[in-house]
Amino acid sequence: MSTGYKIKDQKGLYYLTLQVVHWADVFTRQIYKDIVVDSLEYSMKNKGLDIFAFVIMSNHVHLSAKSYNGDLSDIIRDFKRHTSKKIVDEIKEGRESRKEWLLNIFEHAAKQHKRNNTYQFWTHENHPEHIYSNKFIAQK
């Protein structure tokens, strides 16, 4: 279900919040943070993403970003698709002590939406807020 937050200006500067389903604390492990950072770097080098700031919290990511190519929504969609697959694969194949618990969370979330297959890592929302002033930038 949409919250009403939309990326209306595909070349605009936005403050985005990408959250893990059920606020699962995934990014307490360095390996998962590294996947996010590597994917952000790839998106900057190859997709036209311009990141002004980002922070990885335990269960969500904030970033201030825009697209040089005018396709910010597509870049974020691809970023989320790629990172979710890589992180879930790492959970399944790695030495994650919370493997069963995390996979159950992601499987349960996937069953709530028709457009998911087996697992859902990120929520479908990005909570984009158009950055319109220096005061807003300072607040974030």
Mean pLDDT of the chain: 93
Q: Summarize pLDDT for 62-121 with one digit per residue, the tens.
A: 999 999 998 999 999 999 999 999 999 999 999 999 999 999 999 999 998 877 679 999
Amino acid at site 97: S
DSSP string, 50-97: EEEEEEE-SSEEEEEEEESSS-HHHHHHHHHHHHHHHHHHHHHHS--T
pLDDT at 20 over 70: yes
pLDDT at 1 over 50: no
Rounded CA gap, 83 and 61, in Å? 12
Q: Please give the structure tokens belonging to residue 101.
A: 């618990």
State the pLDDT at residue 136. 81
Rounded CA gap, 63 and 86, in Å? 20
What are the backbone dihedrals phi and psi of residue 67, each rounded to the nearest 5 degrees, phi first?
Answer: -115, 130
Say what the pTM is: 0.91
Give percent of the chain with pLDDT exceeding 70. 96
Please tell me what DSSP assigns to residue 20: B
134 pLDDT tier (thresholds 50, 70, 90)? confident
Residue with tokens 């990511």: 61
Which comes out higher in pLDDT, residue 8 or 60?
60
- Indicate if the alpha-carbon torsion angle 45, 39, 5, 120 is positive or negative: positive
State the pLDDT at residue 4. 60
- Indicate if the alpha-carbon torsion angle 126, 88, 113, 27 is positive or negative: negative
